[in-house]
Amino acid sequence: MIAKTGPGYEDGIIRRFAVDNNGDAYVPMRGTNAGDIRIYKYDNAADTWAYTGKSYTDSHLATDDLDKSGWRMHVYTKDGDSVYFVSYDGKIYHFTFATEALDYIGVLEANPNPWVSDLTLSDDEQHLYALVFQYGINQNMFVDFNIQTGQATTIDSNITTYGPRALIFGGLARDKLGHAYMVGWQYANTSITNIALFKINVEATPTLAIRRVGEQVALAWNLGALENADDVAGPWTDVTNAVSSMLVPASSPQKFFRLRY
């Protein structure tokens, strides 16, 4: 045992914690009361355990779930230098490991206690996608949370392609073409044919448009980084300071362009 992380079941079980690239663990645990959640750090190199001084208030835990502490779900950034997490009262926070900065971003779904079963980060790290199930109205929602604006938008709340599903949670995955996949089933239906795989379009399909404008070529794209090459086999290099849409001279005998995303 490397640390005592909590007083026990009645005073808050920890269900999630995050680990940075150095192997340091950040653990959210109960503070002075049920809704007071404090982030502790286990320093892997120093073998120490201490309170970071960062905390947040979870209104749901203070009234309805006294046995829980911490957050419901989190996702790492590409560099692994921070996490976005959803608290039990539906709020989104950003926690940066190096500075131990804790920033409130916005509300994913003030159900309260939205059953957020899966969370993923968009390739450009500007959006969080989440599966939310509302018990009160028995409704599934696939939500797009804009990190810059703090606004949540429901992409789909009527998932009925293979009949209505009481529960949609588990197996959320996102590909690079803008699709998300998830598993759903009808509660209390034990038939093997009850389980269905769903696919939802969450981002626009990457496109690159090329057209001639006089003695130049106009390029326009919606996602990814622009690359060019003198031969279709490569080598491919990034186009410096490329911003859609842009004009390039048509002076070379041939030039090839593609998107990396």
Per-residue pLDDT of 113-141, as tens digits, reads 657 777 888 878 888 988 887 666 667 77
Residue 141: predicted pLDDT? 77
Last residue of a domain, one of 113, 145, 180: 113
pLDDT at 162 exceeding the cut of 70: no
Residue 193: C-alpha distances to residues 128, 131, 183 (Å) = 31, 22, 12
What is the total count of domains within the chain?
2
Q: The domain containing residue 234 runs over which residues?
A: 208-260
Phi, psi torsion values for 243, nearest 5 degrees? -135, 130
Which tops the pLDDT comparison, 177 or 17?
Answer: 17
* DSSP state for residue 193 in the 8-state scheme: G
Whole-number pLDDT of residue 163:
64
Identify whether 174 is part of a domain: no
Q: Is 82 inside any structural domain?
A: yes
Residue 114 confidence (pLDDT) = 59
Segment 24-47, tens digit of pLDDT: 999 999 888 889 999 999 999 999
Identify the CA nearest to 120 among candidates 64, 169, 49.
Answer: 169
> Domain boundary residue among 95, 113, 131?
113
* Pair 157, 140: CB distance under 8 Å: yes
Burial class (CB in 10 A: 0-12, 13-18, 19+), 32: exposed
How many CB atoms are located within 10 Å of the residue 141 CB? 21
Instruction: Answer yes or no: is 4 within a domain.
Output: no
User: Judging by DSSP bridges, how do beta strands 68-69 and 48-57 pair with one another?
Assistant: unpaired
> What pLDDT is recorded for position 113?
62
Q: Where are the alpha helices (DSSP H) in the chain?
A: 59-63
Residue at 143 is within a domain: no
In a domain, 245, yes or no: yes
Domain membership of residue 177 (yes or no) is no
User: Would 189 be classed as within a structural domain?
Assistant: no
Asked whether residue 112 carries a pLDDT value surpassing 60, the answer given is no
How far lies 216's CA from each of 6, 213, 237, 242, 246, in Å? 65, 5, 20, 15, 10
Give 39-78 pLDDT, tens digit per residue. Answer: 999 999 999 999 999 999 998 888 878 888 889 889 999 9
| Per-residue confidence (pLDDT) for residue 123, from 0 to 100 | 78
Task: Give exposure, 80-117, as e/b (b: 16+ Cβ within 10 Å).
Answer: eebbbbbbbbbbbbebebeeeebeebbbbbebbbbbbb
Residues in the chain: 261
- Nearest Cα to Cα of residue 115 among 84, 94, 137, 146: 137
Contact (Cβ atoms closer than 8 angstroms) between residue 147 and residue 105: yes
Q: Is the dihedral of CA 16, 19, 23, 26 positive or negative?
A: negative
Q: Dump pLDDT digits (tens) for 176-231.
A: 777 778 777 777 778 877 887 777 776 666 788 988 888 888 999 887 788 989 88
End-of-domain residue from the set 71, 94, 113: 113
- 195 belongs to a structural domain: no
